[in-house]
Amino acid sequence: MGSDKAVALLSGGIDSPVAINLMQNKVEIIAMHFHQLPLTDETEVEKVKLLADKLGLKQLYLVPFADVLKQLVDKCNHRDYFILSKILMFRTANFLANQIDAKFLITGENLAQVSSQTLSNLSVITLNVNKLILRPLLIFDKNDIINVAKKIGTYEISKGPEICCLLGPKYPSTRSEPDKIELELSKIGVEEIIKQSLNKSEVVNF
């Protein structure tokens, strides 16, 4: 394992555990999950804990994000919900990375796999973060990702419906412009959101 650290976004889905697995022999990884309690039940969090344990991670930050997501719905253009929520997640991970001297962020994003993960949207998200974002699955085929997940033992834990779209729009933006996204972000207190979310986080050590 390399001596460099990275903060990885870990969802309960299939992709992010595979992305983490692919990077584990290169950097020391601290995982971060943004949960939606009390909008969801404990199943989501328990699933992510199982994934982190299966991957052999040493530390997992469980970040409460339901109130943040509700702010996006109430104050911002709903079609930009997925872009804005991902930016806020990355900015929070970026803040933690600065605190623990981590050089990179890791995500399981896969180009155009879902409508919000277009090249345009990923580019705008990247502009809003100053750490280098590593996307090891960016051009992977979904079947290849599934095959790796089965091989490393995370597929059975990850499979099933995802609840990340709970508050999301039916027709999300597939193209975005930096200035318009900056305007949407100005409608909420980004820095305060980041600090409050991290302060309320639960840190799980394995």
Taking the model in full, what pTM does it have? 0.91
Quote the number of domains for the chain: 1
Q: Look up residue 68 and give its two tokens.
A: 């943040």
Tokens 């090249």 sit on residue = 119
Which of these ranges, 23-32, 46-55, 80-89, has the smallest mean pLDDT?
80-89
Residues 170-181 pLDDT 10s: 777 778 889 999
Residues 29-61 pLDDT 10s: 999 999 988 777 788 899 999 999 999 999 999
Q: Which residues contact 124 (CB under 8 A, 6 or more apart)?
A: 83, 87, 176, 177, 178, 181
Q: Supply the pLDDT for residue 187.
A: 94
Q: How many residues does the chain have?
A: 206
CA angle 4, 54, 157 (to 5 degrees): 125
Q: How many CB atoms lie within 10 A of CB 31?
A: 27
Q: What is the CATH number of the domain that holds 39?
A: 3.40.50.620
Q: Look up residue 20 and give its two tokens.
A: 């983490």
User: What span, in angstroms and rounded, lies between the C-alpha atoms of 119 and 111?
Assistant: 7
Mean pLDDT over each residue of the chain, to the nearest integer? 89
Residues of the domain holding 105: 5-205
